[in-house]
């Protein structure tokens, strides 16, 4: 009986680890295009070479990205951000806090998202399987 | 089953009697981990400067409105050049590097050759397992994976030590393990385990002593040390049996690992933040935690407090080591039982198993003492008194040293307060009954030649102690004093490589064996 209890504890640990790894693994990088940026992504992290700017209040018009450089980048939530990668660095123009870059110089657009169906579904299925096996054996 | 003698055939029968459900569970968990690992390939960004070092054989070039597949790439004079190709359908995901280029006009075609100025590469990605880059392993996932692997092993192979549960009136709560690391008769030792959850029930303290792994566990003595002390103080008993009061424990003001990474967050509280070694592909075999504490100028001694456990990895590697003896395992075990305690402890210490404590002095590092292995299943709060005579200044610097990945530490602190008056009552057991309702009290009552032998998984002994009368205005702490040793059961197979085994006599050889095994394991996973 005690051994079973201990086994249950061990399994709970494994399930927790599984859930942790699953959640971590499900925060996946999703590639997008400029026209398919999700609406709730209100901050752009613009990468060019080793430089990085957080850009808010952005618009795409006349084949140009225009936005304001966000000064407080550390408080930006990962799931509110879209990442744009521009090249070359000289294509990025900055005037004060206003940033512009031609869309033709944006080589990649991506963002992190949680795949909830995989996280919840996977964890639920594995939890169910583990406990089913356990109880059928005890 | 309980007996006072050791019967070799009985041990063999125990080894054959194996729990099928443990095997099945372990197999299932193994499959789960394989699935988890195989699902971990994902696109990861790599710095542009590392493109030429990426392990990819093929390159996808993504322009804004065009894309190509290249091989035979060369990066020279700031220009990336490659030959257009088509990947075979079965190409491994992890061998492809993706390069995102802007603008399209930067992609220059010349026949089957394509060249791209390096400055026009906006982003580079590679399919990669998430936790590896330069094989710095020691992240949470690596630890989790290590624990998962070790847990599977624990369920199937055993290699821990007796488990203690205490009763609080409604539940039996797991408290920890006793005499961990006493894997041979000469290594038998006293152990002092704080029973944090125990409460008297019908004026009795009740505990359970269980064997839950593949071992023969030989317990010589169990008794309670009941301390009544001032509220607001804490009682800990060191490995020598000396009780200490803690009333003003201070956190470290600086804590770093051997690579200079700050551990102050991890080691400053009893919480979920912990420290476990960061394993790197380098020659370092021992992990060194450097601690700095403030010191009153007049302090001549201190009490170092450490809460933690040894890793399952250590137990796992020790059993892997014993497997090297193959069909000579029983002979090796018998030889160990004939060695002196000093000899066995020396070997264990040289291999970095205990957590050694060093004090920085004017003449260099001075060895102070070591913490015994606490077991891998629960944190143990342990204490060592440190002599500070001759240490000047308002700070002390300590180093905690053990083999890489052998310890998992939650907290370190220091207390300079004088030990206060406490009332100590030694309480012998009132009753001890095994799983067959047999009275085994005589075997546990005294430190003598009588042992409670628990050779099988699910051996459980219920032990009760009469609760002494409490003292008004005092707080109570209950410590289990036990003594014993255990032997790990293995079915050794194959002829051992004696020359290789002899190399383990060298200091650090086991630690190297462990590190190499760890790195090899993760290299395969990658």
Classify residue B65: in a domain, yes or no: yes
Q: Do B165 and A2 touch (CB under 8 A)?
A: yes
CB < 8 Å from A in window 73-132 of B: 100-104, 106, 117, 119-123, 130
Chain A residues with CB under 8 Å of B40 CB are 25
Q: Do A2 and B212 touch (CB under 8 A)?
A: yes
Q: Are residues B375 and B433 in the same domain?
A: no
Average pLDDT, chain B: 83
- Report angle CA B267, B270, B275 to the nearest 5 degrees: 35
Looking at per-residue confidence, does B74 or B435 come out higher?
A: B435
Q: Do B62 and A107 touch (CB under 8 A)?
A: yes
Predicted local distance difference test score (pLDDT) of residue B24: 55
Chain B residues with CB under 8 Å of A105 CB are 102-103, 122
Q: Do A104 and B104 touch (CB under 8 A)?
A: yes
Give the rounded distance of the alpha carbon of B263 from its chain centre: 17
CATH at B279: 2.60.120
Interface test with A, best of B67, B102, B141, B172 (most A CBs within 10 A): B102
Give the rounded distance of the alpha carbon of B326 from its chain centre: 25
Residue B318: HSE in the Cβ half-sphere, 13 Å Cα cutoff? 29
> Cβ of A7 under 8 Å from any chain B Cβ?
yes
Q: DSSP E strands: which ranges in chain A? A: 27-32, 43-48, 51-61, 64-69, 81-86, 93-95, 98-102, 106-114
Classify residue B394: in a domain, yes or no: yes
Spatial contact of B94 and B82, defined as CB atoms under 8 Å apart: no
Q: Do A86 and B102 touch (CB under 8 A)?
A: yes
Total residue length of chain B: 526
Q: What is the 3-state secondary structure (H, E, C) of B292-322?
A: EEECCCCCCEEEEEEEEEECHHHHHHHHHHH
Range of the domain at B343: 248-416+496-525
Which residues face B400 on adjacent strands? B289, B357
Predicted local distance difference test score (pLDDT) of residue B262: 92
User: What's the sign of the alpha-carbon dihedral B48, B49, B52, B57?
Assistant: negative
Predicted local distance difference test score (pLDDT) of residue B278: 83
User: Can you tell me whether residue B31 is helix, strand or coil?
Assistant: helix
CA distances from B80 to B23, B53, B98, B204 (A): 53, 13, 13, 78
CB < 8 Å from A in window 182-211 of B: 208, 210
Minimal Cα distance from A132: which residue of B?
A: B25
> Cβ of B435 under 8 Å from any chain A Cβ?
no
Structure tokens at B142: 């690596």
Q: Are residues B222 and B296 in the same domain?
A: no
Chain B residues with CB under 8 Å of A49 CB are 48, 119
Predicted local distance difference test score (pLDDT) of residue B79: 80
Predicted local distance difference test score (pLDDT) of residue A2: 44
Instruction: Provide, rounded to the nearest whole percent, the portion of chain B with pLDDT above 90.
Output: 56
Of B12, B26, B512, B29, the residue nearest B282 (C-alpha): B512
Residues with Cβ within 8 Å of B164's Cβ and at least 6 positions away in sequence, in order, are B174, B175, B176, B177, B178, B193, B195, B207, B208, B209, B210, B480, B482
Q: Do A17 and B106 touch (CB under 8 A)?
A: no
Spatial contact of B451 and B199, defined as CB atoms under 8 Å apart: no
The pTM of the full predicted model, rounded to 2 decimals, is 0.61
Classify residue B286: in a domain, yes or no: yes
Q: Are residues B458 and B504 in the same domain?
A: no
Q: Are residues B253 and B343 in the same domain?
A: yes
Q: Are residues B256 and B113 in the same domain?
A: no
Spatial contact of B358 and B401, defined as CB atoms under 8 Å apart: yes
pLDDT above 60 (res B351): yes
Q: Which of A105-119, B276-290, B409-423 has the lowest mean pLDDT?
A: A105-119
Task: Give dist(CA B383, CA B244) in Å, integer.
Answer: 8
Spatial contact of B46 and B54, defined as CB atoms under 8 Å apart: yes
pLDDT tens digit sequence for B265-275: 899 988 878 99
Q: Are residues B380 and B428 in the same domain?
A: no
B1 CB neighbour count, 10 Å cutoff: 15
Q: How much is the average pLDDT of A77-104?
A: 89
Instruction: Using pLDDT thresholds of 50, 70 and 90, give the confidence band for residue B337.
Output: very high
Task: Give dist(CA B250, CA B414) in Å, integer.
Answer: 5
Task: Give dist(CA B454, CA A39) in Å, integer.
Answer: 64
Minimal Cα distance from A125: which residue of B?
A: B32
Minimal Cα distance from B41: which residue of A?
A: A25
Q: Are residues B267 and B400 in the same domain?
A: yes
Q: Do A88 and B119 touch (CB under 8 A)?
A: yes
> Cβ of A40 under 8 Å from any chain B Cβ?
no
B163 CB neighbour count, 10 Å cutoff: 24
Spatial contact of A85 and A47, defined as CB atoms under 8 Å apart: yes
Minimal Cα distance from A88: which residue of B?
A: B120
Predicted local distance difference test score (pLDDT) of residue B132: 38
Task: Give dist(CA A34, CA A28) in Å, integer.
Answer: 19
Classify residue B293: in a domain, yes or no: yes
Range of the domain at A118: 2-137
Q: Are residues B222 and B183 in the same domain?
A: yes
* DSSP H helices in B365-508: 441-445, 498-502
Spatial contact of B229 and B423, defined as CB atoms under 8 Å apart: yes
Q: Are residues B164 and B107 in the same domain?
A: no
Structure tokens at A123: 């964890």
Of B376, B459, B443, the residue nearest B151 (C-alpha): B376
pLDDT above 50 (res B40): no
Q: Are residues B268 and B341 in the same domain?
A: yes
- Counting the structural domains of chain B, the total is 3
pLDDT tens digit sequence for B373-390: 999 888 999 999 999 998
- Counting the structural domains of chain A, the total is 1
Residue B487: HSE in the Cβ half-sphere, 13 Å Cα cutoff? 23
Q: How much is the average pLDDT of B8-17?
A: 41
pLDDT tens digit sequence for B161-203: 899 999 999 999 999 999 999 999 999 999 999 999 999 999 9
Tokens 């996808």, residue located: B60
Q: How much is the average pLDDT of B250-259?
A: 94
Q: Do A14 and B29 touch (CB under 8 A)?
A: yes
For chain B, the straight-line distance linking the first and the last C-alpha, in angstroms and rounded, comes to 46
CA distances from B466 to A90, B207, B258, B425 (A): 81, 12, 48, 11
> Cβ of A121 under 8 Å from any chain B Cβ?
no
Minimal Cα distance from B48: which residue of A?
A: A49
Looking at per-residue confidence, does B43 or B431 come out higher?
A: B431
Instruction: Using pLDDT thresholds of 50, 70 and 90, give the confidence band for residue A16.
Output: low
B310 CB neighbour count, 10 Å cutoff: 29
Task: Give dist(CA B81, CA B73) in Å, integer.
Answer: 5
Q: Are residues B106 and B204 in the same domain?
A: no
Range from A34-38, B7-11, B38-42 that averages highest in pLDDT: A34-38
Classify residue B142: in a domain, yes or no: no
Q: Do B122 and A47 touch (CB under 8 A)?
A: yes
Average pLDDT, chain A: 76
Nearest CB among B101, B148, B460 relative to A107 is that of: B101
pLDDT tens digit sequence for A93-134: 999 889 999 999 999 998 888 777 766 776 676 666 666 655
ipTM, 2 decimals? Answer: 0.72
For residue B249, count CB atoms less than 10 angstroms from its CB and return exposed for 0-12, middle for 13-18, buried for 19 or more: middle
Helix axes B509-525, B312-323, angle to 10 degrees: 100
Predicted local distance difference test score (pLDDT) of residue B50: 59
Structure tokens at A101: 């870059």
Residue environment code for B391-405, b if the CB has 16+ CB neighbours within 10 A, otherwise e: beeeebbbbbbbbbb
CA distances from B234 to B177, B185, B308 (A): 21, 33, 17
Q: Do B25 and A17 touch (CB under 8 A)?
A: no
Chain B residues with CB under 8 Å of A60 CB are none
pLDDT above 50 (res B7): no
Q: Calculate how close chain A gets to B457, using CA atoms only, in Å.
A: 8
Q: Which of A87-101, B85-99, B208-222 has the lowest mean pLDDT?
A: B85-99
Question: What DSSP element (H or E) covers B346?
Answer: helix B341-350
Q: Which of B38-47, B106-115, B363-372, B455-464 has the lowest mean pLDDT?
A: B38-47
Predicted local distance difference test score (pLDDT) of residue B165: 95
CA distances from B321 to B3, B133, B264, B285, B515 (A): 30, 29, 34, 17, 12
Predicted local distance difference test score (pLDDT) of residue A15: 63
Q: Are residues B97 and B170 in the same domain?
A: no
Spatial contact of B500 and B324, defined as CB atoms under 8 Å apart: yes
pLDDT above 60 (res B391): yes
Residues with Cβ within 8 Å of B120's Cβ and at least 6 positions away in sequence, in order, are A87, A88, A107, B101, B102, B103, B106, B107
Nearest CB among A18, A22, A85 relative to B122 is that of: A85
Predicted local distance difference test score (pLDDT) of residue B98: 85
């Amino acid at each position: 009986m005690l051994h079973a209890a201990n086994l249950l504890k061990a399994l709970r640990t494994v399930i927790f680890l599984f859930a942790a790894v699953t959640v971590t693994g499900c925060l996946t990088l999703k590639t997008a295009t400029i026209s398919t940026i999700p609406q709730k992504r209100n901050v752009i992290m613009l990468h060019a070479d080793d430089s990085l700017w957080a850009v808010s209040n952005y618009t795409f018009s006349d084949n140009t990205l225009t936005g304001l450089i966000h000064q407080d980048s550390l408080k930006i939530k990962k799931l509110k951000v879209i990442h744009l990668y521009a090249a070359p660095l000289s294509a990025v123009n900055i005037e004060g806090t206003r940033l512009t870059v031609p869309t033709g110089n944006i080589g990649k657009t991506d963002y992190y998202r949680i795949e909830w169906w995989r996280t919840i579904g996977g964890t639920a299925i594995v939890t169910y399987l583990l406990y089913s096996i356990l109880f059928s054996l005890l | 089953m309980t007996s006072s003698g050791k019967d070799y055939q009985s041990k063999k029968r125990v080894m054959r009697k194996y729990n099928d459900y443990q095997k099945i569970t372990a197999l299932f968990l193994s499959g789960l981990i394989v699935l988890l690992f195989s699902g971990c390939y994902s696109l990861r960004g790599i710095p542009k400067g590392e493109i030429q070092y990426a392990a990819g054989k093929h390159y996808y070039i993504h322009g804004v409105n065009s894309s190509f597949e290249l091989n035979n790439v060369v990066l020279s004079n700031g220009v990336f050049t490659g030959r257009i190709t088509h990947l075979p359908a079965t190409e491994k995901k992890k061998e492809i590097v993706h390069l995102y280029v802007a603008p399209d006009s930067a992609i220059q075609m010349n026949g089957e050759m394509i060249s791209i100025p390096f400055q026009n590469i906006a982003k580079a990605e590679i399919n990669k397992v998430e936790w590896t880059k330069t094989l710095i392993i020691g992240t949470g996932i690596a630890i989790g994976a290590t624990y998962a692997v070790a847990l599977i092993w624990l369920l199937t192979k055993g290699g821990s030590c007796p488990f203690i549960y205490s009763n609080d009136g409604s539940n039996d709560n797991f408290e920890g393990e006793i005499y961990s690391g006493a894997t041979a008769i000469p290594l038998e030792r006293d152990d002092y385990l704080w029973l944090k959850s125990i409460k008297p029930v019908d004026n009795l303290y009740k505990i359970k002593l269980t064997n839950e792994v593949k071992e023969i566990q030989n317990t010589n003595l169990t008794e309670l040390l009941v301390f009544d002390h001032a509220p607001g103080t804490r009682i800990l008993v060191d490995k020598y049996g000396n009780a200490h009061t803690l009333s003003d424990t201070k956190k470290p003001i600086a804590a770093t690992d051997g690579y200079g990474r700050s551990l102050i967050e991890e080691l400053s509280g009893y919480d979920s933040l912990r420290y476990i070694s960061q394993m790197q592909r380098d020659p370092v075999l021992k992990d060194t935690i450097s601690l700095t504490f403030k010191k009153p100028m007049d302090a001549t001694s201190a009490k170092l407090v450490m809460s933690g456990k040894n890793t399952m990895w250590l137990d796992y590697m020790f059993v892997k080591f014993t497997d090297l003896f193959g069909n000579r395992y029983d002979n090796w075990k018998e030889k160990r039982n004939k060695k002196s305690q000093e000899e066995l402890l020396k070997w264990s210490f040289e291999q970095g198993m205990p957590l050694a404590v060093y004090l920085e002095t004017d003449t260099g590092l001075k060895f102070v003492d070591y913490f015994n292995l606490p077991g891998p299943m629960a944190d143990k709060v342990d204490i060592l008194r440190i002599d500070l005579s001759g240490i000047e200044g308002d700070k002390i610097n300590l180093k905690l040293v053990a083999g890489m990945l052998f310890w998992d530490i939650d907290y370190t602190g220091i207390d300079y307060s004088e030990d206060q008056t406490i009332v100590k009552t030694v309480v012998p057991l009132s009753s001890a009954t095994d799983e067959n309702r047999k009275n085994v009290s005589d075997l546990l009552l005294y430190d003598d030649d009588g042992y409670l032998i628990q050779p099988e998984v699910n051996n459980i002994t219920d032990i009760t102690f009469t609760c002494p009368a409490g003292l008004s205005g005092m707080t109570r702490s209950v410590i289990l004093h036990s003594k014993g040793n255990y032997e790990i059961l293995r079915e050794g197979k194959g002829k051992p490589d004696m020359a290789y085994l002899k190399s383990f006599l060298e200091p650090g050889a086991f630690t190297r064996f462990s590190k190499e095994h760890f790195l090899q394991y993760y290299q395969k996973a990658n």
